[in-house]
Amino acid sequence: MKILIVEDSRSNLMLLTEYIRRLGATVLPAENGAAAVASFDRERPDLVLLDVILPDIDGFEVARRIRAIEQGGDWTPIIFLSSLDKDKDVEQGIMAGGDDYLLKPVSEIVLGAKVRAMGRLIEMRASLVKLASELDKANQDLQRLSASDGLTGIANRRYFDDCLTREWRRARRGGGGHHLALMMCDVDHFKKFNDTYGHQAGDECLRRVAGAIATSLERGSDVAARYGGEEFVVLLPETPIGGALIVAEKIRRAVQALNIPHSASSHSRVTLSIGLAATVPELDNAADSLIAAADRALYEAKNNGRNRVVRAPPLTAA
């Protein structure tokens, strides 16, 4: 334990130093306020024993500066040492950032008890901080798991639904001109793939396809999700149809480049059909209309030979 002792009287400083060393702690001495603040900033002690009356700045100002140095959830106990015994002096010390107030001359027994009590508080606080950190991580992990598809690791259907609703409302609040693009993607002849290679190979295929889709997206706002079975969905906020076509074609080529053998497909490897739609969300149309348009385009892509991107016609208000 490191304890910063701020005391301008050398005799008192030596006495306090001896008391603290008997407790098994390391002493950081300072004889004025400026030196105390510098030492605190440099050494970050576990506890501060702070004289109120100092030759340059008083102990109350030192305490305020120490509190200003501390970051975020940092906390270092400060015990004031003073011969000032009025209630207002104690109040001023606490208001300045102090945690306790001892009157001079300081008793070794009382000081030892205070230091040990503060030590227990420090240990308890460290345990609470650790527990809070572990709880926060557990909550983050739980949130991530609840938003992820268990097989592929990308976002799941529920997370996608929430994102679509949120982005649709945000685009409408933008006052017009905010495009939203969506693509429905289907692994071509996936049932035949499962029948030919088995379900374990099918699962691995879906994982690799999901990875190819996700890595084809460059913006943090873009969302790739497993929609269900062998179907995936991609949401592109602030993206008109021209930009979405480029992304869709990039995804199609990325899946084809995986070169996963598929003897039951006319393309001899795993490919992806993509239906694409884009619109400017307004009050008189609904998010479901974008999904329906992309789904119709996907159906057309599959009927026209698969392994292609088909763009839906512009959406009209319902």
State the catalytic residues.
Answer: 230
CA dihedral 107, 108, 109, 113 (to 10 degrees): 100
Q: Residue 107 carries which DSSP code? A: P
Q: For the chain, how big is the Rg over CA atoms in Å?
A: 33
In whole angstroms, give the CA distance from residue 122 to residue 127: 9
What type of residue sits at position 66? I
- Count, residues in the chain: 318
Nearest to 111 by CA among 32, 18, 2: 18
Contact present, 239 and 247 (Cβ < 8 Å)? yes
In the chain, what are the helix, strand and coil shares in percent, each to the nearest 5? 50, 20, 30
What type of residue sits at position 209? V
Residue in the block written with tokens 């979405």: 244
User: In 10 A of CB 62, how many CB atoms?
Assistant: 29
The separation between the first and the last C-alpha atoms of the chain, rounded to the nearest angstrom, is 71
